[in-house]
Amino acid sequence: MASAATPTGFSLLRQSTTTSRTRSSLLQLSPSSSSSSSSSLSFRPATLRRLGFAAADPLLALTVASRVRSFGAGNGVRGVVSMAKKSVGDLSGADLKGKKVFVRADLNVPLDDKQNITDDTRIRAAVPTIQYLIKNGAKVILSSHLGRPKGVTPKFSLAPLVPRLSELLGIQVVKADDSIGPEVEKLVASLPDGGVLLLENVRFYKEEEKNDPEHAKKLASLADLYVNDAFGTAHRAHASTEGVTKYLKPSVAGFLLQKELDYLVGAVSNPKRPFAAIVGGSKVSSKIGVIESLLEKVDILLLGGGMIFTFYKAQGLSVGSSLVEEDKLDLATSLLGKAKAKGVSLLLPSDVVIADKFAPDANSQVVPASAIPDGWMGLDIGPDSVKTFNEALDTTKTIIWNGPMGVFEFDKFAVGTEAVAKKLAELSGKGVTTIIGGGDSVAAVEKVGVASVMSHISTGGGASLELLEGKELPGVLALDEATPVAVRLRAGSPMGLHTRLSPSSEDEGTPKAVGLHSFPRLHLCSNGPGDFPGPSSTFSRTAAHSLHLVVG
């Protein structure tokens, strides 16, 4: 445990006497062993309300827990959660056939000087939602931003995206020269079922980022319903991400947005344990919210990047010319204290790679973290730290990573970051849930070539950070709530505790049993012998305003 007295000491043992804790921000149900009545159950209030989410009704949850306990031995139900945001997967062919669907995607891909796409990750991530709409006969009106244009800026046109988008979808995508207006309306009117029209950059209008109601109304007038699949902009209340939802119903989440919530809320809030977070980056100030939020959830917290030198100096160590935020020294001390109080094993690097200047060709050497000489600066974590971090990660079942361990843009100081990426890839192959929380961490795993083996790579930079911090995402809040789910609980087979009922599209009004991984789904986490085998560590319905259960 890194304490105020010993910044380079390591401990994987909890500092508190409690051997088992549940720090999930979802509703927690803790059945008492002394009584089988529901009145003996205690629960924690949800903290997801700031995200626009909330847990199940407490009294109803207690009833469900009590019923589940009656099925036999075990520790009972840990949590009951259901996503309240309607998904595009909830819309059938009958809902979509011939309908004009306004899809807000995040196609903000990097282009080189010749307007060639250098990384098509975001385009590929948007394909599943678009293909689902095409398959079901919808008329897709696709919108996105690109770059940060100031008015109409040709170099930020979406035209270079059309060939690759058409190739991935297997159809010819039509491109509009504007995002609103008579010409766009004509193109929409001529769009066939299963066709795709790509609007021009929505940020060519200043009214987009101002979330101007009249502009939002013009965008919405093109369509019958709305799908938001742009997680990267879900933290912005813009006309195409929030404003249009006031005029288009239903307004639902796309598959990508839903997956992001599954991992960044679901897997993080109720993870397989031990749960570790790796947080890097140059400044403590940019990660304060993330660190404070994760301290409520994780078992192990590994810190790297430039921020570690603020922690070192706060503990009286010499840091040479390393980056330090002088006004955050008290904060660093406070965070160390919080980690100790919460029983979180906070690990700081025991050695660092230092350089005589900030440059790719700088002279470098490895020194203990407590022995950085004057005139030298730390630019990466050292080999002993890599070894210790790896040993800590070997004990885990869930890992989230946000931020590099050093200046990985310089090959000489990328070793620590690349080692973390390779370790996560190794653990992912062993069944550990690995979540890359956006930003430079994504660039790091792509550079190493291990992106494809990670459990989830977030497409959002700022959105990922804000979600991990517990901030509201306007683009998520604006979406429709899901239809209440009726759940039947029964004893018997291993699947007996997670069958849901939903109206069959073939036989309207007739309940039909649907498997656990259908949409929407219910997850009842149980802990004892004879319990049903749990699903994956994600929840398709994590963002819960409420959970409606019919116990029968």
Q: pLDDT 10s per residue in the chain (552 long)?
A: 333 333 333 333 333 333 333 333 222 333 333 333 333 333 333 333 333 333 333 443 343 334 333 333 333 332 323 345 789 999 999 999 999 999 999 999 989 999 999 888 889 999 999 999 999 999 999 999 999 999 999 999 999 999 999 999 999 999 999 999 999 999 999 999 999 999 999 999 999 999 999 999 999 999 999 999 998 888 889 999 999 999 999 999 999 999 888 888 877 778 899 999 999 988 888 888 889 889 988 999 999 999 999 999 999 999 999 999 999 999 999 999 999 999 999 999 999 999 999 999 999 999 999 999 999 999 999 999 999 999 999 999 999 999 999 999 999 999 999 999 999 999 999 999 999 986 788 888 988 999 999 998 888 777 777 777 777 788 888 998 876 554 444 444 333 333 333 333 333 333 333 222 333 333 333 333 333 233 333 333 333 332 333 333
CB neighbour list of residue 113: distance below 8 Å, 6 or more residues apart = none
| Extended strands (E) in 148-257 | 174-175, 196-198, 225-228, 251-253
3-state secondary structure of 321: coil
CATH number of 271-469: 3.40.50.1260
Distance between CA 39 and CA 52 in Å, rounded? Answer: 29
CA distance 310 to 147: 33
pLDDT score of 437: 83
- Name the one residue in this structure whose structure tokens are 């020194």: 367
User: What Cα–Cα distance (Å) separates residue 274 from each residue in 107, 278, 348, 400?
Assistant: 35, 13, 18, 12
Identify the DSSP state of 27.
-
CA distances 41 to 32, 37, 101, 161, 527, Å, are: 6, 8, 45, 55, 15
**pLDDT on residue 288:** 84
Pick the CATH number of 88-258 from 3.40.640.10, 3.40.190.80, 3.40.50.1260, 3.40.50.1860: 3.40.50.1260
pLDDT at position 107 is: 94
233-to-105, 242, 274, 459 alpha-carbon distances in Å? 9, 10, 31, 10
Q: Which residues are catalytic?
A: 122, 283, 439, 462
Q: What's the confidence (pLDDT) of residue 233?
A: 86
pLDDT at res. 84? 58
Instruction: Sketch the domain layout of the chain as residue ranges.
Output: 88-258, 271-469
Domains 88-258 and 271-469 share a fold: yes
Dist. CA 60–CA 542, nearest whole Å: 17
250: preceding bond cis by omega (within 30 degrees): yes
Rounded distance between C-alpha atoms, residue 23 and residue 6, angstroms: 26
Partnered with residue 390 across adjacent β-strands are none
Question: What is the rounded CA–CA span in Å between residue 41 and residue 29?
Answer: 7
φ/ψ (deg, to 5) at 183: -65, -40
Structure tokens at 286: 């940019």
User: Two tokens at 114?
Assistant: 């010749």
Burial state string for 190-218 with b = 16 or more CB within 10 A and e = fewer than 16:
ebeebbbbbbbbbbbbebbbebbeebbeb
Q: Report pTM.
A: 0.68
pLDDT at residue 517, rounded to an integer? 30
Residues in the chain: 552
